[in-house]
Amino acid sequence: MTEITAPKSPVTTAEFADEIREQLKYTQNVTAEQATAADVYVAASKAVRNHLVDSWFKTQSDMVNGNTKAVGYFSAEFLMGKQLENALLNAGLTEQFDEAVKELGFQPKDIVDAEYEPGLGNGGLGRLAACYIDSLASLGVPAFGYGIQYKYGIFKQTFDENGKQVETPDYWLNNEEPWGHIDYNRDQKVSFGGEVVEENGKKVWKPAWSVRAVPVDYMVPGYESGRVNTLRLWTAKSYDEFDLLTFNKSEYLDAVKPQVKAENISKILYPEDSTKVGKELRLEQQYFFVSASLHDAIRVFYPGEAKPDLTTFPNKITFQLNDTHPVIGIPELMRILIDEYDYDWDTAWSITQKTFNYTCHTLLPEALEVWPASLIGELLPRHLEIIKKINEQFEDELKGKGIDDATIERMRIYTGDSVRMAYLATYGGSYVNGVAALHSQLLKDVTLKDFSDAYPDKFTNVTNGVTPRRFIKLANPGLSDLITEGLGTDKWLSNLELLEGLVPLAQDDEFVKKFAAVKNANKHNFVAFAKQHYGIDVDENTLFNTMVKRLHEYKRQSLKILAVISKYAAIKNGTVSADDILPRTVFFGAKAAPGYYLAKMTIELINNVSRVVNNDPDVKGKLAVYMLPNYNIEMAQNLIPATELDEQISQAGKEASGTGNMKFALNGALTVGTLDGANVEIRERVGAENFFLFGMTVEEVEKQYADGYDPAKYYEADPRLKQAVNLVADGTFSNGDRNAYAPLVADWLTKDWFMTLADFSAYADIQGEIEQLYRDPLEWNRKALLNVANSGFFSSDRSIEDYLERIWHTGPLA
Q: Choosing from 59, 324, 546, 659, which is the catalytic residue?
A: 659
Active-site residue 555, yes or no?
yes
Q: Is the distance from CB of 809 to CB of 69 less than 8 angstroms?
A: yes
Rounded CA separation 313/555 (Å): 41
- Minimum distance from CB of 550 to ligand F58 (Å)? 7
- Minimum distance from CB of 429 to ligand F58 (Å)? 17
Residue 419 CA from chain centroid, whole number: 26
Minimum CB distance to ligand F58 smaller for 94 or for 122:
122
Q: If you ran DSSP here, which 8-state letter would residue 131 be given?
A: H
Q: Choosing from 549, 552, 654, 685, which is the catalytic residue?
A: 549
Q: Is the distance from CB of 787 to CB of 665 less than 8 angstroms?
A: yes
Q: Is the distance from CB of 193 to CB of 377 less than 8 angstroms?
A: no
Is residue 211 within a helix (H) or strand (E), and if so which, with residue range? strand 209-221
- Minimum distance from CB of 681 to ligand F58 (Å)? 12
Closest CA to 348 of 368, 332, 324, 360: 332
Minimum CB distance to ligand F58 smaller for 314 or for 465:
465
Q: Which amino acid belongs to residue 639?
A: L
Minimum CB distance to ligand F58 smaller for 386 or for 807:
807
- Minimum distance from CB of 290 to ligand F58 (Å)? 15
Q: Is the distance from CB of 769 to CB of 281 less than 8 angstroms?
A: no
Q: Is the distance from CB of 432 to CB of 426 less than 8 angstroms?
A: yes
Is residue 505 within a helix (H) or strand (E), and if so which, with residue range? none
Torsion, Cα 240 244 245 248, to 10 degrees, reads: 150
Q: What stretches of 188-312 show up as alpha helix (H) in DSSP?
A: 244-248, 252-255, 257-264, 280-301
Three-state DSSP string of 252-264: HHHHCHHHHHHHH
- Minimum distance from CB of 551 to ligand F58 (Å)? 12
- Minimum distance from CB of 524 to ligand F58 (Å)? 30
Minimum CB distance to ligand F58 smaller for 23 or for 274:
274
Minimum CB distance to ligand F58 smaller for 608 or for 657:
657
**Taking every pair of C-alpha atoms in the chain, what is the biggest distance, in angstroms?**
88
Minimum CB distance to ligand F58 smaller for 369 or for 644:
369
Rounded CA separation 595/271 (Å): 9
Q: Which amino acid belongs to residue 731?
A: G
Coil, strand, or helix at residue 462?
coil
Q: Choosing from 361, 420, 469, 654, which is the catalytic residue?
A: 361
Minimum CB distance to ligand F58 smaller for 128 or for 321:
128
Active-site residue 663, yes or no?
yes
Active-site residue 659, yes or no?
yes
- Minimum distance from CB of 496 to ligand F58 (Å)? 18
Half-sphere exposure of 439 (CA within 13 A, CB side): 26
Q: What residues are paired with 625 via a beta bridge?
A: 586
Active-site residue 524, yes or no?
no
Nearest residue to the partner ligand F58, using Cβ:
124
Q: What value, to the nearest 5°, has the Cα angle with vertex 281 and ends 279 and 282?
A: 70
- Minimum distance from CB of 115 to ligand F58 (Å)? 23
Minimum CB distance to ligand F58 smaller for 271 or for 314:
271
Rounded CA separation 413/666 (Å): 41
Which residues contact ligand F58 (rule: CB under 6 A)? 122-125, 128, 272-274, 361, 367, 435, 464, 655-659, 677
Cβ atoms < 10 Å from Cβ of 702: 14
Q: What value, to the nearest 5°, has the Cα angle with vertex 314 and ends 137 and 443?
A: 75
Could you give the residue numbers annotated as active site?
361, 549-550, 555, 659, 663
